[in-house]
Chain A
């Protein structure tokens, strides 16, 4: 039986939508691998935190959003930005510190921002994005356009005071914010059991009376369904939700981290049995989608990553005049004691 692209196949999604999720996860994977390579070659400096292994979370959670919804994330945010619509070329150029980067080369890997697609930032102070997301939610309540804010953070971030202050306020003020903790079991080298006095976020959500759902973060369809419920709650009832997505990062914390603190067999087990792309491809094959289709998608992702790196490498560095631009709207703000005065 021939399957048309528009027939619903699984989880309420059409073949085209399912293949879209697959392509998105692959794009992130190949993009991140390419970035890792370029870092080793010295093309990318500073910190580089890869999202390899966690692709199903961003893909599942962000694809159901509207274009006018905001996404705010941490420093491990290339994937979130790309799913929200950021051009991989401009994201890669940002990693390279080039003028064509999404943040004009002035942010770097940790500070991706794409206003056009409402991806509003990678924040590198752990936990700081959660209060900021509350502010977006508050503004959205006033504007009444029905758009919402989704924010991503790690399992380390929930130990910051900012998390607790934000959870309380979001529930108290009924803010349309979806909080997604990507629980990858480690904050840098610190294993969860050494950091949390509880073993899940459920009691923490309960402490603030907030709706909570835990989901397998390696299952893109499960993430999508869970996120959809939270998005609906935010949009229809202006209520926040805390989602705990169980996942794993396949690489070190950053490129500088060989991750010696993790048992080799633990990493191996996750990679070989819980890879979100591998798991999804199995589901797709079970639906009768052939391997050639899947492989072709992978080739396209690899090409896109290569193209992004080439674009970045061929882009100019920012002009030196950019050094003192955009400190504030008021140009005198760049130098506090500017003389003579304007």
Chain B
């Protein structure tokens, strides 16, 4: 297998789906001339033309509203929001329209729509450009919310999302666009299901329940912990809604301990949702309270040192694991 970046993987997914299905169109701010804020859409307008790849005005509500309407009327739109922070301006169309129309209209319509957007902090972008708000949307019945961590998953999940008949929010991470990973050759068909997580590293002592960039931090932490004889299992939840709860429960059944790892805020966040479900359905398997590594409960600061302190790092995970895993020299 060849190695490509997360960014390239996303671009390939859109390209392949546009080739496969002429109903697929891509709309968003600065996706054409600029090539996408994170260069994900670079080259698509040249290849597919400016009818199918459309720069929009700076108007998030109408970007998403138009994409929803076009989806209801038979297209397969992919809307790019410049960052998740701006999804708030489109949140009415996401929450009140995309998520609701099928139900409130008695099943007479559906919304085969993908909304892509980067989230996350850690690049000194300040309070209004560093948020991870997936839990706001994962709260809402009628939406699917996925957060791939690797190039393989990014491509496979975006392709699956474009083919999916329901509205999918595919949330990328600003710091992941440049990471590389193995992906099958272009044209080799594969998709990744939107309702399944994946064990990214096996372990017997503790389950690190995580997603998006948290997967990479957790893998690094697991590497370190292994040196001390603690085998952490990294559970990539990647589908936030619907959640692959069985995957987390099966892992906890084996390890009897869990630490939830995410970079968003703790209170009412995704990790709290996961932890509550694990308590509810897997209480008997737990030998210790679930640990929780999150961003600090403040708006994202700009100063480098403050920002570093605001988002979780590898050692936070290691510390959290050690708090609940009994120290043994050898197992």
A162 with B245: CB separation less than 8 A: no
Interface string of B94-114 (1 = CB under 8 A from A): 001100011111111110000
Which one of B63-71, B148-156, B226-234 is at the interface?
Answer: B63-71
A336 within 8 A of B: yes
Min CB gap A45→B, angstroms: 15
* CB contact under 8 A between A135 and B141, given known A161-B61, A162-B62, A336-B243: no
Q: Give the number of chain B interface residues (Cβ < 8 Å).
A: 53
In angstroms, Cα B223 to Cα A118, docked, is: 58
Which one of A10-18, A100-108, A234-242 is at the interface?
Answer: A100-108
In angstroms, Cα B55 to Cα A172, docked, is: 11
A339 within 8 A of B: yes
B69's partner among A103, A133, A333 (CB-CB below 8 A) is A133
Chain A contacts for B92, CB-based, 8 A? 125, 128, 162
* CB contact under 8 A between A135 and B106, given known A123-B97, A165-B57: no
Chain A contacts for B102, CB-based, 8 A? 326-329
Chain A contacts for B77, CB-based, 8 A? 135
In the complex, which residues 80-137 of chain B have their Cβ closer than 8 Å to any Cβ of chain A? Answer: 92-93, 96-97, 101-110
In angstroms, Cα B109 to Cα A115, docked, is: 8
B61 with A333: CB separation less than 8 A: no
Min CB gap B248→A, angstroms: 10
Interface string of A165-184 (1 = CB under 8 A from B): 11011001100000000000
Chain B contacts for A168, CB-based, 8 A? 57, 59, 62
A107 with B105: CB separation less than 8 A: yes
A131 with B64: CB separation less than 8 A: yes
Chain A contacts for B244, CB-based, 8 A? 341
In angstroms, Cα B246 to Cα A4, docked, is: 73
A136 with B69: CB separation less than 8 A: yes
In angstroms, Cα B72 to Cα A162, docked, is: 18
Chain A contacts for B198, CB-based, 8 A? none
A131 with B106: CB separation less than 8 A: no
In angstroms, Cα B65 to Cα A151, docked, is: 14
A104 with B242: CB separation less than 8 A: no
* CB contact under 8 A between A333 and B141, given known A131-B93, A165-B59, A172-B57: yes
In angstroms, Cα B119 to Cα A141, docked, is: 33
In the complex, which residues 109-153 of chain A have their Cβ closer than 8 Å to any Cβ of chain B? Answer: 111, 113-115, 120-121, 123, 125, 128, 130-140, 142-143
Q: Give the number of chain A interface residues (Cβ < 8 Å).
A: 55
B73 with A333: CB separation less than 8 A: no
B66 with A169: CB separation less than 8 A: yes
Chain B contacts for A135, CB-based, 8 A? 65-73, 75, 77
A332 with B195: CB separation less than 8 A: yes
B75 with A142: CB separation less than 8 A: yes
A128 with B93: CB separation less than 8 A: yes
A338 within 8 A of B: yes
* CB contact under 8 A between A107 and B73, given known A336-B138, A341-B245: no
The chain B residue sitting closest to A107, CB to CB, is B104
Chain B contacts for A125, CB-based, 8 A? 92, 96-97
Interface string of B259-291 (1 = CB under 8 A from A): 000000000000000000100010000000000
In angstroms, Cα B74 to Cα A293, docked, is: 44
The chain A residue sitting closest to B89, CB to CB, is A161
Interface string of A10-34 (1 = CB under 8 A from B): 0000000000000000000000000
CB-defined A-B contacts under 8 Å, sample of 5: A115-B108, A125-B96, A137-B69, A328-B165, A330-B144
Interface residues of B (CB under 8 A from A): 23, 25, 51, 54, 56-57, 59, 61-62, 64-75, 77, 92-93, 96-97, 101-110, 138, 141-142, 144, 164-167, 195, 241-246, 277, 281
Contacts A114-B108, A142-B51 known; 9 new A-B pairs at CB < 8 A: A128-B97, A131-B68, A135-B67, A138-B73, A139-B69, A139-B74, A140-B73, A332-B195, A341-B195
